[in-house]
Amino acid sequence: MKTLVITGASSGIGLRTAAAFLDLGYEVVNLSRRRCPLDKVTHVNCDLSQPGFMEVIAPVMQPMLERSSEIALIHNASRLTNDSAVETPSNTLRAVLEVNVVAPNSLNYFVIPYMKPGSSILFVASTLAEKAVPGSFCYVTSKHATIGMMRALTQDLAGRGIHTAAVCPGFTDTEMLRQHVPADAMDIVRNMSAFGRLITPDEIADTLVFAARSPVLNGAVIHASLGQVER
């Protein structure tokens, strides 16, 4: 049995990724606060902002992981805040890092011992993992850390047959984008892509499927942005 463990499959990219892996015959386990709307997905209710979340869900996860011949672990959930590097209190930064950086490590710590060769650890990062824009301090910082974590894993997993990669979406049509970008600014955002449109969550899901099946990508940072137009 192949298993996908994914965070944040209640909406957006995570939801479409769960659907894509179901189509391939994977058992899919979603970790988030709201349920994944797909009936076949096993929902494990969890709030990644709570430092002890892993102890709460470990007993539910363990039997599923034990019977998996191959596990794809996808760190997809994240928090996006509007804040400035000049005036953000450290508690705000700490809270974002808890969800975007510390929670993935807690999951890695728990899941890696069950991973057999052929398994993968994938991160949904962002174009903001390798560049910064004004007003996204905590997000930019955490997404850069995501790349660091992925690369460190590549080094420390060497020889175990487990590969890693980070997929960096550009502007993708999800709740997160709509909450972040006012409706009247959406046309500007569309035109920041070389194709003049938003990315669909399915396009990112397909990229994640490809990454999970491609050990040759071990350690890769994969930009999935339709080509952003730099001004």
Residue numbers of the site for ligand NAP (CB under 6 A)?
A: 7-8, 10-14, 32-34, 46-49, 76-80, 99, 124, 126, 169, 171-172, 174-177
Minimal distance in Å, beta carbon 94 to ligand NAP?
Answer: 14
Minimal distance in Å, beta carbon 97 to ligand NAP?
Answer: 12
Minimal distance in Å, beta carbon 117 to ligand NAP?
Answer: 27
Nearer to ligand NAP, 119 or 172 (CB): 172
Nearer to ligand NAP, 70 or 96 (CB): 96
Distance, C-alpha 107 to centroid of its chain: 12
Strand order in the sheet with 70-75: 42-45, 27-32, 2-7, 70-75, 120-124, 163-169, 220-224
Please check whether residue 13 is in contact with residue 124, taking contact to mean a CB–CB distance below 8 angstroms: yes
Nearer to ligand NAP, 117 or 227 (CB): 227
Nearer to ligand NAP, 119 or 225 (CB): 225
Q: What angle do CA 30, 8, 198 make, to 5 degrees?
A: 130
Residue sitting closest to ligand NAP (CB):
12
181: which residues sit within 8 A by CB, 6+ positions away?
171, 189
